[in-house]
Amino acid sequence: MLNHFKTTMTIPLQKAQTGRMYKVVTVSGTDVQAQRIRELGVVLGAELIVLRRHPFGGPLEIQLATRKIGIRLGSVHVVVEPVAENPEPLQGSVH
C-alpha cells in the first residue's frame, strides 16, 4: 500500500536558508521575548523570508509581507517549513 501523506521538512528558523520563503509551524516560549516576537507577526502560518543572519548568534533580519524586521530569538524556538511555491532561493532584485 502506498503512503499518500505528504512529508514536510521542518527546521528551526535559525537554520533557515537566506532568500527562501518559509511558513511558521510553531512558536514556543512563554517569556516576554516570545510574546514580543508574536506581536511582530511571527505566528503560526505566517510566511517569511530570512534576509540576513548576523554572525555569532546575532539577530536575524526577516521579511514578513512588506515589513522587514530584526529579531533575536534567544530562548524562543521558532520552527518553519519551506513553502512549496518557492522552491528556489531568491536571487536578489529583479532587473
pLDDT, the chain, mean? 83
**64 in Cβ contact with 43 (< 8 Å):** no
pLDDT score at 95? 40
Confidence of residue 16 (pLDDT cuts 50, 70, 90): very high
* Nearest in space to 59 (alpha carbons), one of 45, 86, 43, 40: 40
pLDDT score at 52? 93
pLDDT digits (tens, 9 = 90+) for 41-90: 999 999 999 999 888 878 899 999 889 999 888 888 999 999 976 445 54
Is the alpha carbon torsion for 15, 30, 56, 48 positive or negative? positive
Q: How far is CA 43 from CA 27, 28, 47, 86, in A?
A: 7, 10, 9, 20
